[in-house]
Protein backbone atom coordinates (compact mmCIF):
# COMPACT_ATOMS: atom_id res chain seq x y z
CA UNK A 1 0.00 0.00 0.00
CA UNK A 2 1.19 3.49 -0.77
CA UNK A 3 2.31 5.48 2.20
CA UNK A 4 1.85 8.84 0.51
CA UNK A 5 -0.89 9.41 -2.03
CA UNK A 6 -1.16 12.44 -4.26
CA UNK A 7 -4.23 11.94 -6.39
CA UNK A 8 -3.74 14.92 -8.70
CA UNK A 9 -1.13 14.26 -11.40
CA UNK A 10 -1.64 17.77 -12.71
CA UNK A 11 -3.36 20.98 -11.66
CA UNK A 12 -4.01 24.30 -13.33
CA UNK A 13 -4.59 27.54 -11.46
CA UNK A 14 -5.08 31.09 -12.57
CA UNK A 15 -2.44 33.57 -11.48
CA UNK A 16 -3.30 35.29 -8.17
CA UNK A 17 -5.79 32.60 -7.20
CA UNK A 18 -5.34 30.05 -4.42
CA UNK A 19 -4.83 26.34 -5.08
CA UNK A 20 -4.93 23.25 -2.90
CA UNK A 21 -2.75 20.24 -3.60
CA UNK A 22 -3.98 17.06 -1.99
CA UNK A 23 -1.95 14.60 0.04
CA UNK A 24 -3.04 11.67 2.16
CA UNK A 25 -0.75 9.45 4.13
CA UNK A 26 -0.76 6.08 5.80
CA UNK A 27 1.19 5.27 8.93
CA UNK A 28 0.73 3.43 12.18
CA UNK A 29 3.37 5.53 13.94
CA UNK A 30 2.25 8.11 16.45
CA UNK A 31 5.22 10.34 15.70
CA UNK A 32 5.83 11.43 12.17
CA UNK A 33 6.55 14.49 10.10
CA UNK A 34 4.97 15.69 6.90
CA UNK A 35 6.78 17.79 4.33
CA UNK A 36 6.10 19.51 1.06
CA UNK A 37 8.80 20.09 -1.50
CA UNK A 38 8.77 22.00 -4.77
CA UNK A 39 10.77 20.76 -7.74
CA UNK A 40 11.10 23.19 -10.65
CA UNK A 41 12.12 21.95 -14.08
CA UNK A 42 15.75 22.57 -13.17
CA UNK A 43 15.51 19.64 -10.74
CA UNK A 44 16.42 20.96 -7.33
CA UNK A 45 14.18 20.06 -4.41
CA UNK A 46 13.06 23.10 -2.46
CA UNK A 47 11.68 22.63 1.04
CA UNK A 48 8.40 24.50 1.52
CA UNK A 49 6.72 23.55 4.77
CA UNK A 50 6.74 21.04 7.62
CA UNK A 51 4.02 19.69 9.93
CA UNK A 52 4.78 17.49 12.91
CA UNK A 53 2.23 14.92 13.98
CA UNK A 54 1.94 16.52 17.41
CA UNK A 55 1.62 20.07 16.13
CA UNK A 56 -1.83 21.36 16.95
CA UNK A 57 -1.66 24.38 14.71
CA UNK A 58 -1.55 24.14 10.95
CA UNK A 59 1.86 25.11 9.63
CA UNK A 60 2.21 28.29 7.61
CA UNK A 61 5.16 29.71 5.69
CA UNK A 62 4.41 32.84 3.76
CA UNK A 63 2.01 31.98 0.95
CA UNK A 64 2.14 28.29 1.86
CA UNK A 65 -0.06 26.69 4.46
CA UNK A 66 -0.66 23.09 5.33
CA UNK A 67 -4.19 21.94 6.03
CA UNK A 68 -3.48 19.15 8.49
CA UNK A 69 -6.39 16.87 9.29
CA UNK A 70 -4.95 14.14 11.45
CA UNK A 71 -8.07 12.02 11.75
CA UNK A 72 -8.39 11.92 7.98
CA UNK A 73 -4.63 11.49 7.55
CA UNK A 74 -4.47 14.32 5.10
CA UNK A 75 -1.93 17.10 4.72
CA UNK A 76 -3.00 19.29 1.86
CA UNK A 77 -0.83 22.17 0.70
CA UNK A 78 -2.54 25.48 0.08
CA UNK A 79 -0.77 28.07 -2.03
CA UNK A 80 -2.37 31.49 -1.87
CA UNK A 81 -2.06 34.19 -4.52
CA UNK A 82 -0.42 31.92 -7.09
CA UNK A 83 2.48 33.29 -9.08
CA UNK A 84 3.85 32.19 -12.43
CA UNK A 85 6.99 31.05 -10.64
CA UNK A 86 4.94 28.55 -8.66
CA UNK A 87 4.69 26.34 -11.75
CA UNK A 88 6.55 23.17 -10.77
CA UNK A 89 6.19 19.65 -9.46
CA UNK A 90 5.11 19.45 -5.84
CA UNK A 91 5.90 16.46 -3.69
CA UNK A 92 4.36 15.51 -0.39
CA UNK A 93 6.61 13.43 1.85
CA UNK A 94 6.50 11.74 5.23
CA UNK A 95 9.13 10.80 7.72
CA UNK A 96 8.07 8.20 10.23
CA UNK A 97 9.42 7.95 13.74
CA UNK A 98 11.00 10.43 16.11
CA UNK A 99 13.37 13.17 15.01
CA UNK A 100 16.34 11.33 16.40
CA UNK A 101 15.77 8.33 14.16
CA UNK A 102 17.25 8.09 10.72
CA UNK A 103 13.79 8.40 9.24
CA UNK A 104 14.18 8.64 5.51
CA UNK A 105 11.54 10.51 3.53
CA UNK A 106 8.81 8.66 1.69
CA UNK A 107 7.59 10.63 -1.29
CA UNK A 108 4.30 10.75 -3.11
CA UNK A 109 4.20 10.67 -6.90
CA UNK A 110 3.87 14.41 -7.13
CA UNK A 111 1.49 16.96 -8.62
CA UNK A 112 2.48 19.11 -11.55
CA UNK A 113 1.14 22.60 -10.97
CA UNK A 114 0.78 25.00 -13.87
CA UNK A 115 -0.05 28.63 -13.18
CA UNK A 116 -1.81 30.40 -16.03
CA UNK A 117 -1.33 34.14 -16.62
Site of interaction with another protein (CB under 8 A): 33, 35, 37, 42-47, 50, 52, 91, 95, 99-100, 102, 104-110
Residue 56 vs residues 20, 32, 83, 87, 106: alpha-carbon distances, Å: 20, 13, 29, 30, 23
CB of 79 to another protein, least distance (A): 18
CB of 113 to another protein, least distance (A): 14
Rounded to the nearest 5°, which phi and psi values hold at 51? -135, 120
CB of 116 to another protein, least distance (A): 21
CB of 37 to another protein, least distance (A): 8
CA angle 34, 48, 1 (to 5 degrees): 35
Smaller CB separation from another protein, 43 or 117: 43
Smaller CB separation from another protein, 9 or 117: 9
Q: Evaluate whether 80 touches 18 at the Cβ level (below 8 Å).
A: yes
Amino acid sequence: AQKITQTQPGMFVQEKEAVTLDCTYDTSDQSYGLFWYKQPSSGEMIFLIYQGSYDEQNATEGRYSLNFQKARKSANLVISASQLGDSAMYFCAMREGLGGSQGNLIFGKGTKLSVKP
